[in-house]
Structure 1
Amino acid sequence: MKPIHSILPLTLTSLSSALQVPLDTITITTTMPRAGNPVIPGWYADPEARIFSSSYWLYPTYSAAYDSQTFFDAFSSPDLLTWTKHPRILDFASIPWSTNRAAWAPSVIRRRRTRTRTPSSSPSPSSSGDSDSDGDSDEYFMYFSAGDGAGIGVAKSTTGPGGPFADALGKPLVPETVFGAEPIDAQVFVDDDGGDGRAWLYFGGWGHAVVVELGDDLVSLKGEYREITPAGYVEGPWMLKRGGVYYFMFSVGGWGDDSYGVSYVTGSSPTGPFTSSPVKILSGNATVGKSTGHNSVVTPDGRDYYIVYHRRPVNETDRDHRVTCIDRMEFDADGNILPVVITTEGVEGRPLH
């Protein structure tokens, strides 16, 4: 719990006089609730955070043996404190090509639609989310890894960010290894913050990162694959844009040991080129948690940033015993990301209303 000190001159004037002490020495201590880490119960990893419909949403991997990873759950919260579970928003039993195993790292975006629009207007995707309510026909697209290399698929929901989602293609969107990158760990970034609105799919394991543009229908690809692998890259790409700068974040080290962490490079476009010297900003420690990685970032207002990631409790030795955590992520005056301080207390509540 974080103490907050405030001065209340109108209500404390008489008290100050009675005690014969200067008014500015009297403080009232109140507390703001904190979320605590982990933020949700159970073993969950690879969390993606979004804001949809006045709620924060988490889309994680169920962290278990590959043959038990046959579905995705989601979680929603109005304030980062209380979370509601939305079970099995996508089930691999209905997707034959998935091999019904190794459901990993979902990424969800929304295509906004309005009730009325001019003939010349068209729906547009958004990955940043906002606090507006859903439109009557908003569509949600989930990009996911299946079968430990069977491919990256795309599923669709027309009923809201909590699904249910259904396979949109009947086959993988990315069916094979590209530039040495295993087709896993998809993330979709829509350049809608002062950009051109194009949607980009990032993915890649086995130490290689690839980006490709999504088609206007969001279930096809256009253009060519581009390898954008920075030094030290292992998996878990995440693109963030702030102040016109593109921050390409990614996991480094080994996900099953204490070397796991998050680094980033920057560029002036979503496809690079990026700076050549990555900066590591997320690491574990022996008192709070270890194997910290596979992050996403969410901001409700463009000022406060939260890094969402998984870590392994310090006393856990099972590699699949990973939990989802949220901590603050801050920048210096030059726009550099500062090293993240991982906590057990978590972040203060932050309602979206």
Structure 2
Amino acid sequence: MRRLNHTRLLASALLLCAAPLTLAADAPARWDRVGAGNPLLPGYFADPSIVHDKGRWYIFATIDPWGDDRLGLWTSENGRDWRFSMPEWPTKQAATSPTSGDAKVWAPSVVRAPNGRWYMYVSVGSEVWVGTAPSPAGPWRDAHGGTPLIARDFAPKYHMIDAEAFVDDDGQAYLYWGSGLNWTNGHCFVVKLKPDMVSFDGPPRDVTPANYFEGPFMVKSKGRYLLTYSDGNTTKDTYKVRYAIGDTPFGPFREAPTSPILQTDVARDIISPGHHAIFRSGRQSYILYHRQALPWPQTGDAVLRQVAVDRLGIAPDGSLARVRATHGDAVAGFVTKRDSGLRWRPVTDVANARHAADDNYATLWRAPDADGGTIIADLGRVRPVTGSRLRPEFPTHRYRYAIEASRDGRNWTSVASMAEHSGSPITLRHTVVARYLRLRVATPRAGLWEWSID
């Protein structure tokens, strides 16, 4: 079968025509171990869409808690070291209509069309909007005349969200979407798209399979169409990934014997995995998805999810194997080892300062009081240091940081003055020869996933 060179790595027939995979043994139940590969991203994000273009990975995602006025975009050349930004489109202000409602920006799907351009289908205010760009990096612009592609009142009994584009191996594009209201009665719709990617080629059809709620994602394997989707409630511990098989992109779809393929495993701290994308790196297929942040259950009312990646096994008949969700070893083979900088240890483990040095995005250090907090890092010996990379709990928030250096732990020199920053990673340049660095955080209760020292 020929390689499909114009569509994203998520939705082509070729992704799932890999050789059968022998999965490694289950990872240990511990999620707070040093050097964990999952979560993949430092922060709270959901509904990920992943593409690869010109040597770079792009992950578009919903910003938690529960959406934002803009989308999150993470980019990486190696799949482990990610940089955060926010595309200029869509925004809640720009993508809105009289029927859109007050819901935020959710659930992007990014695809390269046969015409060579990139298209994004995204939920804004309970409607589906579409934008286009010459590359995943942008610039993104509205592609439908400032109006939703699928309005909220298309089917008022259901939720018009979670649109996902699929380009078949003959170049024909389809769009799948739909959810339910109040966590019940999800429905899935599909329509054939015209070559312009923003016009319907025929009427939409209801193709809802058994146990469907939301998050459809179509793949093709051994000539059959596998409609994968989420079931359950993402705010609880019932979310999961199922799939159904059809002979055409319109079905009819019958749930597969191995469904669900990914679900809660309380004993191993995997809680409510779902709303996924399927992609390939090299000869291996993977599933990218969100799951509940740890520790679980969370305190407060905020919905906080994190993005993870795991290997996806394919049987000789093209069916999907059940996924063994992991905390640490899943990304072996997908990407290189993450660059965690120079090794260091905290002089005192105040408020779990060691979590800022454990190369694990499931654990963080939190400033212990209303004025902020301090971490003193011991590099083990006097050595040259060129800078710091800070990965804060929320890349969209603003934090105040300063850094001081010392050779002996007693006499300190300022190397980065107190200033406000946002993003991830936040890069602070400070060329100095020192054994100790002192990070001062002047933001109340600020969280920090990692402090990488270069």
Q: Distance in 2 between matches of 1:276 and 1:257?
A: 23
Q: Output aligned runs, 1:31-180, within 5 Å.
A: 36-66=37-67, 69-90=68-89, 91-97=91-97, 101-111=103-113, 124-125=114-115, 138-147=116-125, 149=126, 151-158=127-134, 160-169=135-144, 170-175=146-151, 176-178=153-155, 180=157
Equivalent in 262, 265, 273 of residue 292 of structure 1: 273
Q: Distance in 2 between matches of 1:166 and 1:253?
A: 34
Name the CA shift for 1:95/1:275 in 2 (closer, same or farther; >3 Å).
closer
The answer to whether 1:259 aligns with 2:238 is yes
Name stretches of at least 5 consecutive residues in structure 2 with no aligned partner: 1-23, 25-34, 181-185, 337-454
Q: Distance in 1 between matches of 2:150 and 2:128?
A: 5
Q: Distance in 2 between matches of 1:44 and 1:53?
A: 25
Q: Distance in 1 between matches of 2:197 and 2:121?
A: 10
Secondary structure at the aligned position of 2:108 is classed as strand
Equivalent in 290, 311, 315 of residue 310 of structure 1: 290
Q: Distance in 1 between matches of 2:335 and 2:196?
A: 33
Secondary structure at the aligned position of 1:291 is classed as coil
Q: Distance in 2 between matches of 1:188 and 1:181?
A: 19
Q: Distance in 2 between matches of 1:351 and 1:78?
A: 9
- Per-residue CA distance 1:75-120 (angstroms, 9 max, x = gap): 1223322222232342232234256741110111123xxxxxxxxx
The answer to whether 1:344 aligns with 2:327 is yes
Name the CA shift for 1:244/1:319 in 2 (closer, same or farther; >3 Å).
farther
Q: Distance in 2 between matches of 1:289 and 1:265?
A: 23
CA drift of 1:52 comes to 2.1
Secondary structure at the aligned position of 1:37 is classed as coil
TM-score of the pair, normalised by structure 2 = 0.59
Name the CA shift for 1:86/1:243 in 2 (closer, same or farther; >3 Å).
farther
Q: Distance in 2 between matches of 1:259 and 1:99?
A: 27
Name which of structure 1's ranges 304-313 and 93-102 shifts more when overlaid on structure 2: 93-102
Contact preservation (8 Å) 1:93, 1:100: no
The answer to whether 1:271 aligns with 2:250 is yes
Tell me the equivalent position of 1:334.
Answer: 317
Name the CA shift for 1:201/1:167 in 2 (closer, same or farther; >3 Å).
same
Name the CA shift for 1:53/1:248 in 2 (closer, same or farther; >3 Å).
same
Tell me the equivalent position of 1:197.
Answer: 171
Contact preservation (8 Å) 2:105, 2:124: yes
Q: Distance in 1 between matches of 2:242 and 2:70?
A: 29
Contact preservation (8 Å) 1:153, 1:173: yes
Contact preservation (8 Å) 1:289, 1:313: no
Tell me the equivalent position of 2:164.
Answer: 187
Secondary structure at the aligned position of 1:92 is classed as coil
How many aligned residue pairs are there? Answer: 288
Name the CA shift for 1:294/1:143 in 2 (closer, same or farther; >3 Å).
same
Query: Partner letter of residue 350 of structure 1?
Result: F
- Per-residue CA distance 1:211-246 (angstroms, 9 max, x = gap): 001121111212011111011100000001122221
Name which of structure 1's ranges 343-352 and 36-45 shifts more when overlaid on structure 2: 343-352
CA drift of 1:324 comes to 0.4
Query: Partner letter of residue 123 of structure 2?
Result: S
Q: Distance in 2 between matches of 1:220 and 1:327?
A: 35
Name the CA shift for 1:65/1:243 in 2 (closer, same or farther; >3 Å).
closer
Query: Partner letter of residue 144 of structure 1?
Result: V
Name the CA shift for 1:197/1:65 in 2 (closer, same or farther; >3 Å).
closer
What is the CA RMSD across the aligned residues, in angstroms? Answer: 2.4
Q: Distance in 2 between matches of 1:276 and 1:261?
A: 14
Query: Partner letter of residue 264 of structure 2?
Result: G
Query: Partner letter of residue 74 of structure 2?
Result: F
Query: Partner letter of residue 232 of structure 1?
Result: N
